[in-house]
Amino acid sequence: MATASYPMDGVAGQVKRPALAEYFTWSIDHKIIGVQYIVTSLFFFIIAGALAMLIRWELMTPEITVMADGSQYNTLFSIHGTMMIFTWIVPFWAGLGNYLIPLMLGAKDMAFPWLNAFAFWLLPPSGFLLILGFFIGPAEAGWTSYPPLSTIYSPDGQTLWALSIHLVGLSSILGAINFIVTIKNMRPPSMGWFQMPLFAWATLATSIIVVLATPFLAGALTLLLLDRVAGTTFFDATSGGDVLLWQNIFWFYSHPAVYIMILPGFGVLSEVLAIHSRKPIFGYRMIALSSMAIAIVGFTVWAHHMFTSLQPELRIPFMITSMIIAVPTGIKIFGWLGTIWGGRIRLNSANLFSLGFLSLFVIGGISGVMLAAVPVNIHMHDTYFVVSHFHFVLYGGSVFAIYSALYHWWPKITGRMLDERLGKIHFVTTYIGFLGTFMPQHIVGMQGMPRRVAVYDPQFQDLNVLISLFSFLLGISTFFLLYNMVVSTVAGRVAGANPWRALTLEWQTTSPPPAYNFAGEPVPFEDPYGYGTDASKAYLDAMESRFGPSPGAEEERRPPSGALPEPQPAGD
Q: Which residues ranging from 124 to 143 are in contact with another protein (CB under 8 A)?
A: 140-142
Comparing CB distances to another protein, the nearer of 45 and 252 is 252
Which CB, 45 or 119, lies closer to another protein? 119
Q: Taking the CA atoms of 125, 480, 103 and 531 in sequence, report the sign of the dihedral they define.
A: negative
| Out of 311, 565, 566, 572, the residue judged to bind another protein by CB under 8 A | 311
Asked if 421 touches another protein (CB under 8 A), the answer is no
Phi/psi at 383 (5° precision): -115, 180
HSE, side-chain direction, 13 A CA sphere, residue 509: 31
CA distance 401 to 337: 16
Phi then psi for residue 149, to 5 deg, are: -60, -35
Q: How far is the CB of 553 from another protein (least distance, A)?
A: 10
Give least dist CB 505 to another protein, A.
11
When asked if residue 25 is in the footprint of another protein (CB under 8 A), the reply is: no
Q: Are 38 and 95 in contact (CB under 8 A)?
A: yes
Residues 490-509 close enough to bind another protein by CB under 8 A: 490, 494
Beta strands in 373-465 (DSSP E): none
Distances (CA, A) of 77 to 57, 107, 241, 397: 12, 41, 28, 20
From residue 472 to residue 491, what is the string marking binding to another protein with x (rule CB under 8 A)? ------------------x-
| Smallest distance from another protein to CB 13, Å | 4
SS3 17: coil
- Number of neighbours of residue 370 by Cβ within 10 angstroms: 14
Give the residue with the Cβ less far from another protein, 74 or 478.
Answer: 74
Verify binding: residue 515, another protein, rule CB under 8 A.
no
DSSP H or E run through 276: helix 243-277
Residues that contact another protein, how many (by CB under 8 A): 172
CB 307 → another protein: shortest distance, Å?
Answer: 9
Q: Measured from the CB of residue 111, what is the shortest distance to another protein in angstroms? A: 5
Q: What's the CA gap between 506 and 31, in Å, rounded? A: 12
In sequence order, the 6+-apart residues with CB closer than 8 A to the CB of 189 are: none
Interacting residues with another protein between 215 and 254 (CB under 8 A): 215-216, 218-220, 222-223, 226, 230-234, 236-245, 248-249, 252
Beta carbons within 8 Å of 48's beta carbon, 6+ residues apart: 79, 80, 83, 84, 87, 88
Nearer to another protein, 245 or 473 (CB): 245
Interface residues for another protein in 333-372 (CB under 8 A)?
Answer: 333-335, 337-338, 340-347, 355, 358-359, 362-363, 366-367, 369-370
Residues 6+ apart with CB under 8 A from 277: 339, 340, 343, 344, 345, 346, 351
Separation between Cα atoms, residue 291 and residue 137, nearest integer Å: 41
Q: How far apart are CB 239 and another protein at their closest, in Å?
A: 5
> If binding is defined by CB under 8 A, does position 312 make contact with another protein?
yes
User: Could you say which residues in the range 142-171 bind another protein, by CB under 8 A?
Assistant: 142, 146, 148-149, 153
| Neighbouring C-alpha atoms within 13 Å toward the C-beta of 342 | 8
Work out which of 124, 137, 548, 569 binds another protein, going by CB under 8 A.
548
Q: Rule CB under 8 A: is residue 214 a binding residue for another protein?
A: yes
Per-position x/- string for 371-410, each x denoting binding to another protein as judged by CB under 8 A, each - no binding: --xxxx-xx-xxx---------------------------
Of 37-45, 93-101, 279-287, 427-435: span binding another protein (CB under 8 A):
279-287
Q: Which of 295, 217, 208, 214 is nearest to 249 (CA)?
A: 217
Please state the closest distance from residue 443 (CB atom) to another protein, in A. 5
